[in-house]
Structure 1
Amino acid sequence: MLLLEASPREWRGGNSQHTRNLRCMHDAPQDVLVDAYPEEEFWQDLLKVTGGNTDERLARLVIRASSTCRDWMRRHGVRFQPSLAGTLHLSRTNAFFMGGGKALVNAYYRSAENLGVDIRYDSPVDRLEIQDGRFVAACVGRERIEARACVLAAGGFESNREWLREAWGQNERGEWPADNFIIRGTRFNQGVLLKHMTAQGADIIGDPTQAHCVAIDARAPLYDGGIVTRVDAVSLGVMVNRDAVRFYDEGEDFWPKRYAIWGRLVALQPGQIGYCIIDSKAVGRFMPPVFPGVKAGTLPELARKLELDEATFMRTLNDYNAACRVGSFDHTVLDDCHTEGLTPPKTHWARPIDQAPFYGYALRPGVTFTYLGLKTDARARVHFGGEPSDNLFVAGEMMAGNVLGRGYTAGVGMSIGTAFGRIAGTQAARAALKEDAHAIA
């Protein structure tokens, strides 16, 4: 068995190195998971964030697989721990990897090596030989590598800035939004095989503008900033755009169910930038980001430091503060703190921003992975003209759009990757053994 990895060894594993947890169905408390998170609740959570843009059969396959995968993962060296302080609402739904995504990736690679898998780094596959929907060979530059079966797990196209630019186009303000995107994950997901498979006639699913896109600190590096660049304070304050006005309900739902909509919301704002504004009451209630916020003793001072129009900023904050109807604040539930007579409203966790010091975070769209991918089925097969291949399979981000047409909820990407990685690997092994049997006969 041969694994061809596009990256050098130190960047192996794609975006899995940046993850930290897995969303898991369970009907009773299980090791690091508390209470219960039954199939129907998981499905309703997914249905809500995708707006129904999901294949229910494949989604439920993922959900059910998430309930049994942890023992398999442990056998390959993965370790789990309870949810961390500050990871709101996830102790019931998500199992955290001890050591994070890097430890997960290292465990898998160690297990693969122990099983005799030959791993080659700096070996990007740029094309496949396919005959009548069957895989024949993979090509790395001039080298041609034949095999009896193949699993494609090459990610999306989020690192291909030209493709992002083409997908998002130019907006009515004459801007090219993708020029201001930051890539949270690997720089090696260029979409080369995705584009190649499209040219080969593979069936494609998904919208190229839909992605796991988070509002992250504008000071984040262009690639591989990972989880620490996220700013989780949005639901505790207000978000304003470059014109110093609010543009969406910050308290719509729990943060793990809504954090991944904010990148797209910011992408639609002028200059593709937004500003999260909080006061000292919010400090300590969210996971601290890697970069400190801009700090000020007064709101007018904060507006000036963020280079926002002071008069408009103060009108926005004063209108919001006056509209707050504070009841029993509790950020662990959908509380009764809300605004009245304000557009857009803030439906939960609405408290006046009035206690100094004040903080502001400039945020940009941070793309984790794109949802355009290969259409597949419950056996992870690649399809050509509606017909499944019998020896070419797909897993991970390269097929996640079958389940995630849009939206995101924390940890579901790893649920999809784990479920379909196992399916694709099992099906590829069966296809290879079948080829062996035919050769012997």
Structure 2
Amino acid sequence: MVDVLVIGGGNAALCAALMAREAGASVLVVEASPREWRGGNSQHTRNLRCMHDAPQDVLIDAYPEEEYWQDLLKVTGGITDEHLARLTIRASSTCRDWMRRHGVHFQPPLSGALHVARTNAFFMGGGKALVNAYFRSAEKLGVQVRYDTPVVSVELDGDRFVAVRTTKGERIEAKSCVLAAGGFESNREWLREAWGQNERGEWPSDNFLIRGTRFNEGMLLKHMIDAGADSIGDPTQAHMVAIDARAPLYDGGICTRIDCVSLGVVVNREGQRFYDEGEDFWPKCYAIWGRLVAQQPGQIGYSIIDQKAIGRFMPPVFPGTTANTLAELARKLGLPEQAFVKTVEDYNAACRPGSFDHTALDDCATSGLAPAKTHWARPINTAPFYGYTLKPGVTFTYLGLKVNDRAAVHFGGRPSPNLFVAGEMMAGNVLGKGYTAGVGMAIGTAFGRIAGTQAAAAARKVEHATA
């Protein structure tokens, strides 16, 4: 019997496996995907949000705990567990040396990379390089890894973990277990159930694209909730980004994001604006736009900029629709021409002169317009004009299992002695809603490492009890 069983193959799972192995436990990792698709959503990540009180290697200036906490508090609207959030924040300041020991390399942020040079450490080679480094290190340390092995149920004795069963009917026992199998974002049926129908008779989730892995179907999460594990979070809340409508259904990753929203206006299919595009810096608000687009007719939106914006944002992979007049752009995008042109002209007329600075919360705002644009408001009046069609892109869902600071799964408020959870399956404890760049990796790294350490300790207790 293995000491620690880790279910999942992303960042949180691998952090747990490595920590458990470093603590002397024998470890088995079971991953639902085939080897070539291993890594879960972590393969699509780029960076880790890090607290630091002074400049550190690839991080400039300082990003102290209180500022990090205030940023998280703002994007979640207060729907967060402060104790667990601060634990995550503090852990983010000390994990990079450990990551480097396991083969992860960091690089300075790219020019124009979402204003996160101060707050986020970027992985050399991105998330795929990170998970590959962790897998190499795990295998070198003797961690067993099995692919194509989805786990569908957990056998419990009260609140104590006993074994799991796979889709093949196999039963795997272990002295302790870490659940790190992701959310349910690629389970179309569950998304439909969570989002339901809107007042227009639409099923919004039918138009969602999944930015990450197709293997996060939430089977294990659903089983645990049905088995009486304490849950947390709203099933409709998720890290949702407005992405290129031409993106693939799964695994589009970072390259499908459209980052010019704050430099122009966004309209729905009726040609109407519906939210403040300049509310805050893009890394702090980009993840609300998927949900905003999901609430629009047809779950579709259009990001509109002009020539002045070009060069001020990370360019998307696919070129946008271009036109020499606003009327021509409306026709090419299939928008109602008169309504669209009026929307943009009304916006242009409402823009007040200011000192435009996209690196600061500047004083370029609209006046007398609803919704207002509170920063970076400049008339869209310089041809050529560009339009990007947007759809909601789900990264991961926030419904998860309730935990304490030892990453233990709870049953009726009581923590399990040998069942732990990390990553997306518990991120809702910290992220009740909203998102800020790199915090998902911070949560997964912090709680993956905690879960692995605790699982190894729990396995030792079982060993001593049976000796």
* TM surpasses 0.5: yes
Matched, 1:132 2:166: no
State the Cα deviation string for residues 372-415 of structure 1 (Å, max 9, x = none).
Answer: 00000000000001110000000000000000000000000000
User: In the alignment, which of 212, 215, 230 is matched to residue 185 of structure 1?
Assistant: 212
Query: Quick check: 1:261 aligned with 2:282?
Result: no
- What's 1:235 paired with? 262
> Which stretch of the first structure deviates more once superposed, 140-149 or 331-340?
140-149
Q: Distance in 2 between matches of 1:315 and 1:231?
A: 24
In the alignment, residue 353 of structure 2 is paired with which amino acid?
V
Give the percent of matched residue pairs that are identical in Structure 1 and Structure 2.
79
Deviation at 1:85, TM superposition (A): 1.3
The corresponding residue for 2:420 is: 393
Task: Verify: 1:5 aligned to 2:31, yes or no.
Answer: yes
Match of 1:164 among 191, 203, 221: 191
Partner of 2:113 in structure 1?
Answer: 87
Is the 1:55–1:402 contact (alpha carbons within 8 Å) kept by the matching residues of 2?
A: yes
Partner AA of 1:223 in structure 2: Y
Kept after mapping to 2: 8 A contact 1:6/1:121: yes
**Pairwise CA RMSD:** 0.5
**Residue of structure 2 in register with 1:27 after alignment:** 53
In the alignment, is residue 311 of structure 1 matched against residue 319 of structure 2?
A: no
Residues 253 and 334 of structure 1 are in contact (CA less than 8 Å); yes or no, is this contact kept in structure 2?
yes
Is it true that 1:115 corresponds to 2:141 in the alignment? yes
**Deviation, structure 1 residue 88:** 2.6
Structure 2 CA distance for aligned equivalents of residues 139 and 98 of structure 1: 37
Once the two structures are overlaid, the 10-residue window that deviates more, 205-214 or 133-142, is 133-142
Q: Which residue of 2 aligns with 1:64?
A: 90
Q: Distance in 2 between matches of 1:419 and 1:334?
A: 31
Residues 327 and 336, structure 1, Cα contact 8 Å, conserved in 2: yes
Paired position in structure 1 for 2:274: 247
The residue identity in structure 1 corresponding to 2:136 is: R
- The answer to whether structure 1 residue 210 and structure 2 residue 237 are counterparts is yes
Match of 1:151 among 165, 171, 178: 178
Once the 2 structures are TM-superposed, how far is the Cα of residue 142 of structure 1 from its aligned partner?
A: 1.5
**How far off is 1:433 after superposition?**
1.2
Give 1:326 shift.
2.4
Amino acid of the structure 1 residue aligned with 2:49: R
In the alignment, the residues of structure 2 paired with residue 198 and residue 421 of structure 1 have an alpha-carbon distance, to the nearest angstrom, of 20
Query: How far 1:159 moved relative to its partner?
Result: 0.2
Please give the secondary structure, in 1, of the residue aligned with 2:255.
Answer: helix
CA shift for structure 1 position 310: 0.5
**3-state SS of paired residue (1:340):** coil
Question: Which residue identity is paired with 2:218?
Answer: G
Q: Distance in 1 between matches of 2:46 and 2:347?
A: 35
| 1:438 to partner: Cα distance | 1.6
Aligned equivalents of 2:244, 2:62: Cα separation in 1: 34
The Cα offsets for residues 280-329 of structure 1, whole Å up to 9 and x where unpaired, read as 10011101111110011111100000000000001100000000012111
Amino acid at match of 2:267: V
Residues 95-106 of structure 1: matches in 2 within 5 Å? 95-106=121-132
2:410 aligns with: 383
Q: Give deviations 1:190-240, integer Å, cap 9, x for gaps.
A: 000011001110000000000000000000000000000000000000000
The yes-or-no answer on 1:355 pairing with 2:357 is: no
Letter in 2 for 1:91: A
Bigger CA drift: 402-411 or 84-93? 84-93
Alignment of 1:40-55 (within 5 A): 40-55=66-81
Letter aligned with residue 122 of structure 2:
F
Matched, 1:407 2:434: yes
* Equivalent pairs, count: 440
Partner of 1:173: 200
Distance 1:107 1:251 in 2: 38
Q: CA contact under 8 A between 1:252 and 1:346: conserved in structure 2?
A: yes
Query: 1:284: which partner in 2?
Result: 311
Q: CA deviation at 1:138?
A: 1.1
Q: Deviations along 1:211-270, whole A, 9 cap, x unmatched?
A: 000000000000000000000000000000010000000000000000000000000000
Residue number among 365, 371, 390 corresponding to 2:398 in the alignment: 371
* Corresponding position of 1:434: 461
Alpha-carbon shift at residue 422 of structure 1 (Å): 0.1
Moved more, 391-400 or 78-87: 78-87
TM-score of the superposition, structure 2-length normalised? 0.94
What SS is found at the alignment partner of 1:179? helix
The 5 Å alignment of 1:407-426 reads 407-426=434-453
> How much does 1:439 deviate?
1.9
- Between the aligned partners of 1:131 and 1:234, the Cα distance in structure 2 is 51
Do the aligned partners of 1:252 and 1:348 also contact (CA within 8 Å) in 2?
yes
Amino acid at match of 1:137: A
TM-score, with length taken from structure 1? 0.99
Kept after mapping to 2: 8 A contact 1:302/1:358: yes
The DSSP-based 3-state class of the residue aligned with 1:147 is strand
Could you tell me whether the CA contact under 8 Å between 1:181 and 1:367 is conserved in 2?
yes
| Post-superposition offset of 1:31 | 0.2
Moved over 4 A (4+): none
Q: Partner letter of residue 35 of structure 1?
A: D
- 2:226 & 2:355 partners in 1: Cα distance? 57
Counterpart residue identity of residue 143, structure 2: V
Please give the secondary structure, in 2, of the residue aligned with 1:90.
coil
Cα distance in 2 between the residues matched to 1:162 and 1:286: 36
**Is contact 1:88-1:332 (8 Å) kept?**
no
CA drift of 1:371 comes to 0.1
> Which range moves more in the overlay, 367-376 or 81-90?
81-90
Equivalent position amino acid for 2:195 in 1: W
Q: Note if contact 1:198-1:204 (Cα within 8 Å) is conserved in structure 2.
A: yes
